[in-house]
Amino acid sequence: MSHQQHPELISATWELDTIVQELRNARNDWRAQRGRSREPGLRELPSRDALQQIIRELCGALFPMRLGPQELREETEDYYVGHTLDAALNELFRQVQLELVYFSRQQNANADEALLKNQANQIVRLFAAALPELRRTLDVDIQAAFQGDPAARSVDEVLLCYPGVLAIIHHRLAHTLYQLGVPLLARIVAELAHSLTGIDIHPGAEIGRGFFIDHGTGVVIGETAVIGERVRIYQAVTLGAKTFPTDDKGHLQKGLPRHPIVEDDVVIYAGATVLGRITIGKGSIIGGNVWLTRSVPPGSSITQASSRQQLPQGADV
């Protein structure tokens, strides 16, 4: 299609000056209502695009011969890892600074640039130092996925293809950031995985080694969930909150423990909904489509069909 064929495209007017002005007015009204002022030339918030690139580079540095560039060779592996980490961590440092400045302004505090820069530097140093152990933890997760799925032909297939593994890589990185005091960056990283996989894991959730999400679409894991080791869950599982307590003014109370505790070696099948600060005892099996709002002891088997708890032999209710 050419302009000669459609001359109306040439003469069309969009009144852009007016629209730009009205959009500016809308932004200014929003800022004024919240008592915000923006210094010229300064970005207020971290960049989702920057975090996406950082995570891509960190994945390459963690698994260079599988998630790194196609042309990489083992003899240049260390050089690639060093170069890639340097770029990723320097950009992460800038994003951490943005978050620290942002929250300092939100709290109406006078931002001490030198102090915040040192704080950002320390956060990134600690994050970088955590990467080797994080890699070892992910190796256990990947092995659990391989062993837990008879359709998996290799650990390499699991790493390259499984959405649950992609989600747990993002979560391990996001949780580290969350623990280091940059929750906004952590949440962005978590939401990148959510967008890619349909798996929604809040970065605050504590998840032990050997965690496997099979299929994964529709999985939701809340902020204060605590998951033990060697836990396996399937698609559309929710580990959510039952209630949302409010204060005297009706505002939601933040940070209270409100999500389940899932002990070691638990299996939760597709569609199960587990709500509230309850405990799923070690080695229990939660069947598909079960709705559970009470704790169950170790070794329990809960099925949707029977709608009752089948206790291990000799256990007390």
Q: Which residue has tokens 């836990």?
A: 231
Predicted pLDDT of residue 313: 55
Checking if the pLDDT of 3 tops 70, the result is: no
Predicted pLDDT of residue 105: 81
- The CATH code of the domain at 44-199 is 1.10.3130.10
Rounded mean pLDDT, 86-92: 98
pLDDT tens profile 222-266: 999 999 999 999 999 999 999 777 777 777 778 789 999 999 999
Checking if the pLDDT of 303 tops 60, the result is: yes
- Neighbouring C-beta atoms of residue 228, cutoff 10 Å: 19
Rounded mean pLDDT, 139-167: 97
Tokens of 296: 């169950």
Checking if the pLDDT of 278 tops 60, the result is: yes
Q: For residue 309, name the pLDDT band (cuts at 50, 70, 90).
A: very low
Q: Which residue has the higher pLDDT, 309 or 145?
A: 145
Q: Which of 8-17, 23-32, 191-200 has the lowest mean pLDDT?
A: 8-17
Checking if the pLDDT of 314 tops 60, the result is: no
- C-beta of residue 175 within 8 angstroms of C-beta of residue 186: yes
Checking if the pLDDT of 10 tops 70, the result is: no
- Label residue 236 left, alpha or beta by phi (over 0 means left) and psi (-120 to 50 means alpha): left
- C-beta of residue 38 within 8 angstroms of C-beta of residue 105: no
Rounded mean pLDDT, 111-134: 94
Domain extents in the chain: 44-199, 218-317
Q: What is the rounded average pLDDT for all residues in the chain?
A: 91
Checking if the pLDDT of 2 tops 60, the result is: no
Predicted pLDDT of residue 162: 97
Range 131-139 contact pairs with CB under 8 angstroms and sequence separation of 24 or more: 131/58, 131/61, 131/62, 131/85, 134/62, 134/172, 134/173, 134/176, 135/62, 135/63, 137/172, 137/209, 138/62, 138/168, 138/169, 138/172
Tokens of 150: 């008879």
Rounded mean pLDDT, 66-95: 96
- The CATH code of the domain at 218-317 is 2.160.10.10
Checking if the pLDDT of 24 tops 80, the result is: yes
Predicted pLDDT of residue 317: 31
Checking if the pLDDT of 129 tops 50, the result is: yes
